[in-house]
Amino acid sequence: MELKEFHDVVSISEARRRLEEHLKLEREVEEVPLEEALGRVLARDIVAQVDVPPFDRASMDGYAVIAKDTFYADEESPVELELLGYIRAGDSAGYQISRGKCIGIATGAAMPGGANAVVMVEYTEQVERQGKKYVRIYKPVAPGENVMAAGSDIMRGEVVLRRNTRLTPREVGVLAALGMRSVEVFRRPRVAIISTGDEIVAPGEELSFGRIYDVNAYALAQAVRECGGEPSILGIVGDDAEELRAKLEEALSGYDVVITSGGTSAGMGDLSYRVIDQLGEPGILVHGVAIKPGKPTIIGIARGKPIFGLPGYPTSAMITFDVFVAPLLRSLSGLEAPERKRVRARTAMKFYSAGGRYEYKLVNLVRGSDGSYTAYPVLTGSGAITTLAEADGYIEIPENVEMLGEDEEHEVVLLSESIRVADLTIIGSHCIGIDLLLSLMSRERPLKAKVINVGSSGGLRAVRRGESDLSGTHLIDEATGEYNLPFIFRLGLAKRAYLVRGYDREQGFVVARGNPKGITGIEDLLRPEVRFINRNPGSGTRVLFDLELKRLAEERGVSVQELAREIRGYEVEAKSHSAIAAAVAYGRADVGLAIRTVAEQYELDFLPLREEKYDFAVPKEKFDKEEVRRFIAALASEEFRKVLEKTPGLKPNEETGRVIYEPG
């Protein structure tokens, strides 16, 4: 028998190149029940078909109130409100309150019309006078306090989970919250594991002199499982060519990937490379790699399936598995390589803690331009299912600490085996247009994106610190009516950031079908029979509405505050566009200001008010990053233009995708 020596020892990169050149495996998709989805990897973007929650709901037991009624309440001078009844979780809608009234409410119950806050039961006392019940309130609440707004957790039409996301219990909870019973995931590659050598004995059998237990099969099986594969140990094959060939034939007929260990060196008793080379074209691609340990590694392909012959020494086998096999299995199953489990990170802002309790503060991690990590608090709150799904880890805050200062360094404990290292990090104001654009980019090749929604101003601050790759913004300058560019100068970014023109969004009044209250403009909100629902302060939509209100006030020669007092519901605030649409759809309000997209989703009428520019700021040092360039190219593409034209409320403009400002 001819002896085959190591005449062609290749580099690691060359070995990988040969494998990639000849291997044409593609990831397959299967649908699994939700209870079997743990650890699997999403094969499709998950787009929310419902809002979560689908209605404004109480996040505490207590009393639903109009916040303004409680503003002057304290221990010495409690406010008394008439108690109208009690709403339990699951009760149907239809309750309504007015000034001076309140309704008892359970955690998770739908908020009554007119109410915009919940007073915790701990700060109240019930009394009865002349056959009527009253509630004494000893602590004021702000609008929106202890209330979870419709769509504030998940907004209908939003891409909630992205393709290539590994499903942990947190993400499975998100899928359940969306009402999904099953989910499409990448099929786990089936991996056959064969141990070779006359000296190998299965664990549990008697060990005679000169024999060793089969370590590799069991270690490799766990490594396969860790990489998302389904391992099968096919047993031990002695130094017999026909026996090995039969076992390899079995493996090739029923599995996607084949691993052997032992029998890879050039001695007379080592048969693997000769047998593998006879199984089919192209046969052996690599027999010997310039790696220590692991030089005698074999890589071959037969019948379109990869065969890896790993060295017999356990350390060599595991190292070469990690270098060559693990990346392939992770690619097929959609998994990422694991990283360290604890990192140091700087706080992006002040973190306030509940004093007296040991707290685990959930955070998102963002890598800055200097390579260090910054921790952003997850702000959706404990009632939101996405709170855990969005988090990378947590900071442990001891009982005696009430606040972590901005820019302090702390240790972050990761929730997963690795940080979600993103190809593209987007921090700023959220828009469904970003989801559409990222989905379009992912069609070309897989893209890992991290989107952190902190508003336009927060996004521009992230640009200043070099933490974001891109920041969506739609800030309007009160003096000029111009969007975004004035804020590049105002926030000190003139020498530090590019501004790329995005697309137009249509803002307007959302009303019920047929516009039963005859709303035509902002003036109609002053009519006493019209119930308005406002957006939260700091949102771009609230800024726009307050500017329109200021314009009307100037026309009438009165103060903005005077007009605001005339608007029924001005102080009732929603935290999302979906919450506005839900309030109108469910009859809790007659009109609200939102984007056209949600009006279409809820089958409501829409009265256009203004088109706004939604643009992207890019840190100077990130502008030439490959993924940023891809994003801008996709933004300017004809394909994305067609997607925008099909999306209600969004449309391209003549400058979409162009750089409209370069740092001086």
Determine the Cα angle at 625 with ends 621 and 628, to 5°: 105
Say if residue 99's pLDDT is above 70: yes
Q: What is the pLDDT of residue 604?
A: 96
**What is the C-alpha separation between 539 and 328, in angstroms, rounded?**
45
Which secondary structure element, helix H or strand E, spans residue 561, and what is its range? helix 560-566
Q: What is the pLDDT of residues 474-519, one digit of tens each?
A: 888 888 889 999 999 999 999 999 999 999 999 999 999 999 999 9
Using pLDDT thresholds of 50, 70 and 90, give the confidence band for residue 638. Answer: very high
The answer to whether the CB of 235 falls within 8 A of the CB of 194 is: yes
> Cα-flanking dihedrals φ and ψ of residue 477, to 5°?
-85, 125
Q: What is the pLDDT of residue 384?
A: 47
Q: What is the pLDDT of residue 340?
A: 52
Q: What is the mean pLDDT of residues 236-254?
A: 90
**CATH H-level superfamily of 29-53+152-186:** Molybdopterin biosynthesis moea protein, domain 2 (3.90.105.10)
Q: What is the pLDDT of residues 150-186, one digit of tens each?
A: 888 888 999 999 999 999 999 999 999 999 999 999 9
Q: What is the pLDDT of residue 494?
A: 93
Q: What is the pLDDT of residues 38-60, one digit of tens each?
A: 999 999 999 999 988 889 999 99
Q: What is the mean pLDDT of residues 222-235?
A: 93
Say if residue 109's pLDDT is above 70: yes
Q: What is the pLDDT of residues 380-410, one digit of tens each?
A: 544 445 555 677 888 877 767 888 888 889 9
Say if residue 379's pLDDT is above 70: no
Surface-to-core class of residue 181, CB atoms within 10 Å of its CB (0-12 exposed, 13-18 middle, 19+ buried): exposed
Say if residue 259's pLDDT is above 80: yes
Q: 263-272, 328-337, 421-430: which has the minimum mean pLDDT? A: 263-272
Say if residue 327's pLDDT is above 60: yes
Tokens of 25: 């495996």
The answer to whether the CB of 548 falls within 8 A of the CB of 120 is: no
Say if residue 126's pLDDT is above 60: yes
Q: What is the mean pLDDT of residues 616-637?
A: 95
Q: What is the mean pLDDT of residues 261-272?
A: 62
The answer to whether the CB of 579 falls within 8 A of the CB of 56 is: yes
Say if residue 543's pLDDT is above 90: no
- Residues whose CB falls within 8 Å of the CB of residue 565, separated by 6 or more in sequence, listed in order: none
Only one residue has tokens 């709303």, namely 519
Out of 3.40.190.10, 3.30.160.110, 2.60.40.10, 3.30.1010.10, the CATH code matching 506-611 is: 3.40.190.10
Q: Which fold has domain 342-414?
A: Beta-clip (2.40.340)
Q: What is the pLDDT of residues 206-219, one digit of tens each?
A: 877 778 888 889 99
Could you give the percent of the chain with pLDDT greater than 70? 93
Return the sign of the alpha-carbon dihedral for residues 45, 47, 48, 49: negative
Q: List Cα–Cα distances, 423 to 186, 447, 630, in angstroms.
A: 21, 6, 11
Q: Is it true that 57-148 and 342-414 share their CATH fold?
A: no
Amino acid at 20: E
Say if residue 374's pLDDT is above 70: yes
Instruction: Label each residue of 19-58 as H, E or C.
Output: HHHHCCCCCCEEEEEHHHCCCCEECCCEECCCCECCCCEE
Q: What is the pLDDT of residue 475?
A: 87
Q: What is the pLDDT of residues 441-465, one digit of tens each?
A: 998 888 888 888 777 888 898 898 8
Q: What is the pLDDT of residue 5?
A: 46
**What is the C-alpha separation between 186 and 336, in angstroms, rounded?**
13
Q: What is the CA radius of gyration of the chain?
A: 31
Q: What is the pLDDT of residues 415-433, one digit of tens each?
A: 776 677 788 999 888 788 9
Would you list the domain boundaries of the chain?
A: 12-27+188-333, 29-53+152-186, 57-148, 342-414, 506-611
Task: Domain 12-27+188-333: state its class.
Answer: alpha beta
**What is the C-alpha separation between 245 and 232, in angstroms, rounded?**
17
Determine the Cα angle at 229 with ends 223 and 232, to 5°: 80
- Residues whose CB falls within 8 Å of the CB of residue 445, separated by 6 or more in sequence, listed in order: none
Q: What is the pLDDT of residue 354?
A: 62
Closest CA to 277 of 267, 268, 265, 287: 287
Q: List Cα–Cα distances, 154 to 220, 317, 507, 573, 611, in angstroms.
A: 40, 46, 20, 17, 25
Q: What is the pLDDT of residue 269?
A: 40
> Cα-flanking dihedrals φ and ψ of residue 171, to 5°?
-70, -35
Listed in sequence order, the DSSP H helices in 413-557 are 432-444, 455-464, 485-490, 540-556
Q: What is the pLDDT of residue 264?
A: 57
**What is the C-alpha separation between 290 and 329, in angstroms, rounded?**
22
Using pLDDT thresholds of 50, 70 and 90, give the confidence band for residue 3. Answer: very low
Q: Is the CATH number of domain 57-148 1.10.3720.10? A: no
Could you give the percent of the chain with pLDDT greater than 90? 56
Average pLDDT of the chain? 88
Q: What is the mean pLDDT of residues 314-339?
A: 84
Q: List Cα–Cα distances, 587 to 68, 511, 581, in angstroms.
A: 22, 10, 10
Q: What is the pLDDT of residues 344-362, one digit of tens each?
A: 998 887 887 766 556 677 7
